[in-house]
Amino acid sequence: MQRANSRTVTVDLTYGNEYFGQLGPFEVELGWWSSVDGVIARATELAGVPVLVARLVDGHSEDPGHGGRVRYHAEALRRPTALNSRPLEGEAAALLASAPLRAAWATPEGLREALGWAELELLAIGRPSAAPARQIRTWNLSGLLRLPTATGADAWLKTTTPAFNAREGEVIALLGGVDPTLVPTVLAADPAGGRLLLDHVPGEDCWSPSVGTVADVVPRLVAAQAALAERRTVLAGLRDRRPGALLAQLRVLLDRLPVETDLTPEELDRLRAFAADLPELLDQLAACGLPETLVHGDFHPGNWRSDGASSVVVDYADACLGHPALDGLRPRAYLTPEAWRHHVQVWTDAWRQHAPGSDPSRALDLAEPLYHLSYALRYQEFLDHIEPSERPYHEGDPAAELRAVLAWARRG
């Protein structure tokens, strides 16, 4: 499917308890529903006052999460005097009503509170805000805002839901304790509130990483993981995605799948057979000699940033305790076949250096079904913790990953 490069947007505008109707529809470049800077620019123009997007209200597309017709709830930061308020009723009232699983930053009050926290933290470290925050992204998993500061260096506010995400500030501290250059600088953290304030990382996201970037980033992560594997007590608070835990979690998930997904009875039977045979696979994987350690959890090149001289790994919300091959496999979907072969060589060479006598190449092959299983479980976590309007982002993902497990089993 060719992805659309735009979307048609409608915005429901509020200011506190007042409702000002809908803005739009209008076209916005970039089809990704979670990218809201273009939405904000046009909505601000139409409202006559600055606005921020609270959340996705509704979306319709053949490619969920991208393109199509999208509806957002936006909050005006000042009362829009050029518009008339009106009663909030009917469909709009239903769509804008509170929801038990709504993320804190996806409400006007929570969004203002998070920004207020960030501004106070910046003031406390001598870098007060110098201009309004620029909202870059918001969706069911996180919010991201860029804050200009008086020192000239921007800061970034990231919001996540603590119930199903790692405490990123603590993960960054663990990795930074063995390689400070690998991670971004944390300016402030509020783990209970799911808020993280980061220093700006210069450069670009490495969606198409150079050979040199791969040769720089991958061995440094491996070195940090090898070092942390020797300090297991400090990893105790991480979500458990070790191979043995994945087996137990798969058995629990299988009991839910008939009503949660469109997997057929025959597919479910095959998954149960896979679970029954999995202990043997886990023994073979353990024999490869790689240690269980801190795993980034989403180690694709879009989460690497490079300015050409140095590279930093960002976004640790999915971090867990697990097998490092889960990170080793993650870039494959984002790389050309040639680039993937180079990545494998770099990753396996690095692990041979840090775990002499190990067989990282075989570990990559054996870990493939666990990789897909770990993502099936992660996507189900998303679905379990997000409100109904956000489910289109991930509705079919657990089943898709489990079918990838079955495809691997069939090849084996």
Sheet holding 320-322, edge to edge: 239-241, 320-322, 293-295
Percent pLDDT > 70 in the chain is 99
How far apart (Å, rounded) are the C-alpha atoms in residues 352 and 99?
Answer: 50
As a whole number of angstroms, the distance between CA 275 and CA 285 comes to 15
Would the pLDDT of 194 be above 70? yes
Q: Name the domain boundary from 72, 97, 122.
A: 97
More confident site: 257 or 405: 405
Residue-wise pLDDT for 313-353, tens only, equals 999 999 999 999 999 999 999 999 999 999 999 999 999 99
Is residue 175 in a domain? Answer: yes
Spell out a b/e string for 259-271, using b for 16 or more CB atoms within 10 Å of the CB, else e.
eebebeeebeebb
**What are the phi and psi torsion angles at 257 (to 5°)?**
-65, -35
Q: How many CA atoms lie within 13 A of 238 on its CB side?
A: 30
| Mean predicted confidence (pLDDT) in 250-259 | 85
157 and 222 part of one domain: no
Alpha carbon distance 224, 87 (integer Å): 56
Question: Residue 100 above 60 pLDDT?
Answer: yes
Are residues 82 and 140 located together in one domain of the fold?
no
Please say if the pLDDT value at position 240 is more than 90.
yes
Answer whether residue 143 is part of any domain: yes
- pLDDT over 90 at 30, yes or no: no
pLDDT of 2 reads: 65
In a domain, residue 1? The reply is: no
Whole-number mean pLDDT of the chain? Answer: 95
Q: Tell me the C-alpha distance between 264 and 243, whole Å.
A: 26
Per-residue pLDDT tens digits for 132-171: 999 999 998 999 999 999 998 999 999 999 999 999 999 9
Tens-digit pLDDT profile for residues 354-367: 999 999 999 999 99
- The CATH number given to whatever domain includes residue 361 is 3.90.1200
Q: Summarize the confidence of residues 116-125 as an average pLDDT.
A: 98
Number of domains in the chain: 3
Q: Is the pLDDT of residue 1 over 60?
A: no
249/167 same-domain check: no
Rama region for 399: left / alpha / beta (φ>0; ψ in -120 to 50; rest): alpha
Q: Give pTM, 2 decimals.
A: 0.95
Pick the last residue of a domain from 31, 62, 97.
Answer: 97
Q: Domain ends where: 97, 114, 134? A: 97
Q: Are residues 135 and 168 in the same domain?
A: yes
- The residue-averaged pLDDT of 306-314 equals 94
Amino acid identity, position 120: L
> Does residue 187 share a domain with residue 211?
no
User: What's the CA gap between 52 and 74, in Å, rounded?
Assistant: 5
Q: Please, which residues bridge with residue 241 across strands?
A: 322
pLDDT at 217: 98
Looking at the fold, whether 294 and 376 belong to one and the same domain comes out as yes
Residue 140 sits in the same domain as residue 223: no
Check whether residue 181 and residue 274 sit in a common domain.
no
Q: For the segment 35-88, what is each residue's pLDDT rounded down to a tens digit?
A: 999 999 999 999 999 999 999 999 999 888 899 999 999 999 999 999 999 999
Domain coverage including residue 174? 106-199
**Residues 304 and 389 occupy one common structural domain:** yes
Lowest mean pLDDT among 204-213, 235-244, 384-393: 384-393
